[in-house]
Structure 1
């Protein structure tokens, strides 16, 4: 439905000789109802991510890959889990036409040849990847893995990432589990 409304707004603006504006629901931003909720996160309320938080993953940028400019986007974060918490982030971006699908294809190719990034699993509309970073912590070398599952539904790109906690790595199972309710909630944008 969202894609049809966007198409209709664009067509009407072109016929009128103007430039189409985003539909009102997108122009106002991504509503909280389209993002993961406490029920999805074990009771934890997600918080809006800061402008510069998780920047390399909004959207993922292996080897300098650039993403399309979204009509609207939003990122939220939460710390989930008990004795071994995980810092998770959800990123939702609404794009024109098939830009989300094109970006996902480019991401798949970029992950295959980019140092520190690796494609873990893939299907036609979904990828799970690993981003590896190395640093020194208290005199020891740390190898840290952040996992992400990214999918598109129509013109909407949805990412769930898990960076683990402190020096412990994230968990791909967490991102693959959370992408299901994230896609369901983002579908309200259509």
Structure 2
């Protein structure tokens, strides 16, 4: 079935996500993506030169959804402590939803994330950069003790890894997960205060 809609990278990525959901990372092919779009696989390759490039782009798109959602917290109104709590809670909630709402796709992306280390490194740099901005604002406003915002952001990110690293996904639905997360968050915030 031929399509009359213009083939864009975004359409290809959306179709790739559909194919990944249906077939998983191991069995999804560029031919499958092209079939969903009603185009030849050569048309897909015009936008993404290799299967690896396509997989990397779809992984980046998936990770960027979290970064984009959290970026609004950085410059939102309110005290830095509140924004830090909202940002870390937002990261945990986003990961919980990704794992719980679509477990097949989450499992597929966990495989793809393992393949796309540069994309993951960029994602982590973006997230820790957002955290560093909040910490910097807190230090400048006197809410947080003087510190190196970049080092502190990395420490906060690593300290909360249990609540955003996909390796811990099975623990996110435990009945006490929210309570344990809140206790950790309280401890971390107390440690930042002057």
TM-score (norm 1): 0.27
- Higher gyration radius (CA): 2
Q: Going by fraction, where is strand more abundant, 1 or 2?
A: 1
Flag the structure with higher helix content.
2
